[in-house]
Structure 1
Amino acid sequence: MRTASLDDLDPIVDLHTQARTAYYQAGGLSETELTSPEARSVRREMWMRAVQDDTRTVLCAVRESEIVGILAMGPPLEADLDASAVGQLHQIHVRPGRWGQGIGSQLHAAFVQLLRDASLTGGVLEAWERNSRAQAFYARHGWKPDGHCRPGPGHANYLRMQLVLGPSS
């Protein structure tokens, strides 16, 4: 696990594209809209801003010099959340061929440790309602829906989930 740099942008964008294509296609969206050059350009710009933003943390999980997973976190985006208490997990993505190998759980553990290091008491994230794999992953790690949602692609919502941290041992 290491902090991402601008040199990682293209591998990060490629991994993000592969992961989101897998789960959005499974949810009924077309590959064309997910992998277009325009969509890739938007993702690259988003990741560049995240890597350069001092309020965000972007980590890469690396195996045999290949980026196999990514995480982005920072302060919560919604005004109803207290940035002095919670951090937002903006993204966890694992290369689809590497799913089920514990990489996502290692990234999640790094997120929890970063919350604890910042003396935060919990986390918040959004999961696309048609991404049952992600929802199950987060539920296994103690996340619970909090009743908030916002519109997402394919006429499906993003569901907000929260994690409350207990005392560390």
Structure 2
Amino acid sequence: MLIRDAVVGDGPALARVHFDAWHVGYAGLMPQGLLDATTMERRTVSWQLTLSGERTLRENILVAEVNGTPLGFAHTGPGRDADADGAGELWALNVAPSQWGSGLASTLVRTAHDVLRRGGFDRATLWVLTGNARARRFYERHGWSPDGVAREETIRGFTIPELRYTLDLRLT
């Protein structure tokens, strides 16, 4: 396995990972209408725009590659919440369902922790779907804990309940 920075040509592969992870991982947890509206075409366009555009200061997109094939990604950057107060954020972490349980996600999240630390952050946040027990257990195994903040995010007209998790990067 290789963890590397994303390049523009990764767009289609990251779109596939993102699409598959959402459709398998969120089945029964997110409104089916939202999953149906999340198409490969939309994901591909979104990733192409993200990878070809300018990134914010301290923003990173990591790719986990196995035998030359991107099978996971982590997107990190400065905290986006009004109360971020200098924290970093794990904006997204997705892994191909075929890799769940393989250790790829663990390697990827530990590398994301390192990247955030190297970016000058000593703590970080992430948002997780409230009902996603699998993801919540994963993050908790890696030192993250809920901080008591919840929100309802609206995506394409669908309301999604989320919990915020925090991590003291000095302890990982």
TM-score, normalization by structure 2:
0.84
Q: 1:116 to 1:70 in 2, by over 3 A?
A: same
Q: What percentage of residue pairs aligned between the two structures are identical?
A: 28
Q: 1:46 to 1:166 in 2, by over 3 A?
A: same
Aligned-partner Cα distance in 2 for 1:46–1:148: 31
Q: Which residue of 2 aligns with 1:70?
A: 73
- Which one has the bigger strand percentage? 2
Deviation at 1:69, TM superposition (A): 0.8
CA contact (8 A) 2:63 2:74 kept: yes
Q: Which residue of 2 aligns with 1:101?
A: 102
Deviation track 1:27-59 (CA, whole Å, cap 9, x = no partner) reads: 15324223364x43663366336x630421001
Aligned-partner Cα distance in 1 for 2:28–2:111: 28
Aligned-partner Cα distance in 1 for 2:9–2:45: 17
Aligned-partner Cα distance in 2 for 1:22–1:100: 14
CA contact (8 A) 2:16 2:40 kept: no
Deviation track 1:139-169 (CA, whole Å, cap 9, x = no partner) reads: 111111111122136544111100013356x
The match for 1:164 among 139, 144, 168 is 168
CA contact (8 A) 2:152 2:161 kept: yes
Supply the AA of the counterpart residue of 1:160.
R
Q: Which residue of 1 aligns with 2:24?
A: 22
CA contact (8 A) 1:21 1:35 kept: no
> What count of residue pairs does the alignment treat as equivalent?
164
Deviation at 1:110, TM superposition (A): 0.7
State the SS of the aligned residue for 1:101: coil
TM-score, normalization by structure 1:
0.86
Mean alpha-carbon deviation: is it higher for 98-107 or for 20-29? Answer: 20-29
The match for 1:80 among 83, 86, 106 is 83
State the SS of the aligned residue for 1:130: coil
State the SS of the aligned residue for 1:26: coil
CA contact (8 A) 1:58 1:72 kept: yes
Mean alpha-carbon deviation: is it higher for 70-79 or for 115-124? Answer: 115-124
Q: Which residue of 1 aligns with 2:128?
A: 127
Runs of at least 5 residues in structure 1 that lack an aligned partner in the other structure:
none
